[in-house]
Structure 1
Amino acid sequence: MVDLDHARTVAVEAAEAAGALLRDGTRGVVGIRTKGDAGDVVTDLDLASEKLLLERILTAYPSHSVIAEESGLVGGADGEWTWLVDPLDGTNNVAIGLPAYVVGVALCRGGRPVLGVVHDPVAAQTWSAIRGRGATGSSGARLAPPYLPSPYGPLLAWTQGYGVARNDPTTRALKTALELNARRVLQLWAPLLSWAMLARGDIDGIVGYRAEAVDLPAGALLAREAGIEIRALDGGPFEECFDGPAEDRSFVAAHPRAIAGLLSVVGL
């Protein structure tokens, strides 16, 4: 068995070191190039941060597998323990000079996250969670977002996977429903930042459609351990695993007392 307290220390220290690298790097000229056919980009900072994270994790756990945003699968192949690394969640924000980005790390056992860490270099804040043991912030205080309904509707965040087409009918239906019923809909280009905001109580919910496998588990575990409820779009159970089909990574997330209302908003 892995000592999850030690694993959290490794992950937090690695994420914060990567965050310092990103924070320093964004003060200068950032090298940017296109990635894929959908207009996405990658920066030199993504690659440098990922290299640091991989070195830290594989030094501590050489037999584990790591799936990283840019490098794919590296490290051991025992199949039981897999780390997920998002070295710069919010690359497109960095590319346009918007200081909204985080570093995400998750440790999964059998595809299911047992540890999640999200670090915000701009705010110098780190949030982490161990399955079944709650979520905490940098101060060590437990995260427990309150239920504070607004008469003007909820403040929601939206996220979707890179592979979702612009004219996808489900996407269009969901976004239209949110725009009609929410007070505001945030599209931050940094899903892990949205999860941290939900876990803190800054926003009321998140709706995701075919979310990316690398960044979903860390954020979803953080929010769930803070007391957030996550359901599939049809209201059924949801597991924040990374190894299933993209259709299984569509969800709504909100305070338990608000989840029914959010499901009614997105009912397809």
Structure 2
Amino acid sequence: MDVVPSRTGPDLRDAHRFAVEAAQAAGRLLRRGTQGEMHVRAKNDSGDVVTDLDLAAEELIVGRIRARWPEHGVIAEEGGEYAADDSWLWLVDPLDGTNNVAIGLPAYVVGIALCDRGSPVLGVVHDPVSDRTWSAIRGQGAFVHVGGLAGQPLRTLHRPVPAAPVLAWTQGHEVRRDDSTARALKVVLDSTARRVLQLWAPLLSWVMLARGDIDGIVGYRPEAVDLPAGMLLAAEAGMVVRALDGGCFDDRYGCPADRRSFVAAPPETIDRLVKLVTAAQWIEPQVRQLTPISLTDVGW
């Protein structure tokens, strides 16, 4: 996790402060907006939704980046893509947890990452509800910001190795209900974990892992934009991220969906979590033979 010497890129400490401030400004916009009436519409056929708040927060963050570093690439969750620089690239998830907001559940965050040739070097996650921000600079650690820009080193809660772990699960929007790998993984996790959280806000899960609140995360073909910020935060807090088979995880943005699947946990339990995940391969043939129940089957 050493800092890669910058070629002509931004000063990371300056970019860090900029990203924290931008995320917090978007958070204030979201906090005000969630107190009033929102316009919610379907985003695609997967059941995902988008609100006017997503678009407003994205415009705020992207506008600031474009004004400060017009030569940098920017890819944002709601479709904003500008100056696709293959060297320095900003990733913006203006409202991670839109489905929660749409049903009145106050569990959502703002995510921003900066990548150097695909690999994240800076990550910021801001929670507008608690007005707390978590951030990381590659090779320089993870930080928590309470009610302002100034950050303190993040102190991870070291939990004893659990008899049964509390885990978070995340999957990409395009994963089908009949995906046998996803179904087998869920069966194994539900059968072995004390609790499996499905928060509809992956960045919140990464924050909880970095803080030590949960014992691990399993991600299957997750979305690409919000992955780097959370992954870097957890890694800089001392967590280990591996591929589903236990091999090295490629943290570069733009990898195909089938290479983004991961397990993440503290160093002392990562091997146990990998064993749980790899056990899914033994039951997948049986799961594949089961026909999922559809809404039509039950007369919905």
Category of TM-score, reference length = shorter chain: over 0.9
**Matching of residue 123 in structure 1 with residue 130 in structure 2:** yes
Q: Which residue of 2 aligns with 1:73?
A: 81
Q: Give matches, 1:142-221, under 5 Å.
A: 142-149=153-160, 151-221=162-232
Moved over 6 A (4+): none
The whole-number CA distance in structure 2 between the counterparts of 1:258 and 1:151 is 9
> Can you list the C-alpha shifts for 1:17-46, whole angstroms capped at 9, x where unaligned?
000000000000111001111111100000
Show the counterpart of 2:102: 95
What do residues 116-139 of structure 1 show as CA deviations (whole Å, max 9, x unaligned)? 000000011001101011101015
Match of 2:260 in 1: 249
Change in Cα spacing, 1:129 to 1:151, as seen in structure 2 (3 Å) is closer
Task: Indicate the SS of the match to 2:209.
Answer: helix
Aligned residues: 267
Unaligned runs of 5+ in 1: none
Letter in 1 for 2:101: V
Instruction: Say which is worse superposed, 100-109 or 232-241, in terms of deviation.
Output: 232-241
Say what the alpha-carbon RMSD is for the aligned residues: 1.1
Residue 138 of structure 1 aligns to a residue whose secondary structure is: strand
Q: Measure, in 2, the Cα distance between the counterparts of 1:89 and 1:78.
A: 24
The DSSP-based 3-state class of the residue aligned with 1:30 is coil
What is the CA–CA distance in structure 2 between the aligned matches of 1:45 and 1:190, rounded to whole Å? Answer: 16
Distance in 1 separating the partners of 2:48 and 2:84? 29
How far is the alpha carbon of 1:189 from its aligned partner? 0.2
Q: Which residue of 1 aligns with 2:19?
A: 11
Q: Secondary structure at the match of 2:28?
A: helix
- Give the C-alpha shift of residue 78 in structure 1: 2.9
Paired residues of 1:144 and 1:227 also in contact (CA < 8 A)? no
- In the alignment, is the contact (CA less than 8 A) between 2:157 and 2:213 conserved in 1? no
SS state of the match for residue 137, structure 1? strand
Partner of 1:55: 63
Identity %: 64
Distance 2:80 2:30 in 1: 20
* Among 27, 30, 41, the residue aligned to 2:38: 30
Counterpart Cα distance in 2 of 1:258 and 1:143? 20
| Structure 2 residue identity aligned to 1:224 | A
Matched residue, 2:141? 134
Matched, 1:85 2:92: yes
8 A Cα contact 2:172 2:221, kept in partner: yes
In structure 2, what is the Cα distance between the partners aligned to 1:264 and 1:104?
Answer: 30
* Structure 1 residue 152, shift from structure 2 partner: 4.1
| Contact 1:217 1:242 (C-alpha < 8 Å) held by counterparts | yes
> Partner of 1:105 in structure 2?
112
Which among 20, 36, 44 is matched to residue 52 of structure 2?
44
Secondary structure at the aligned position of 1:37 is classed as coil
CA distance in 2, matches of 1:141, 1:238: 28
**TM-score, structure 2 normalization:** 0.87
Letter in 2 for 1:34: A
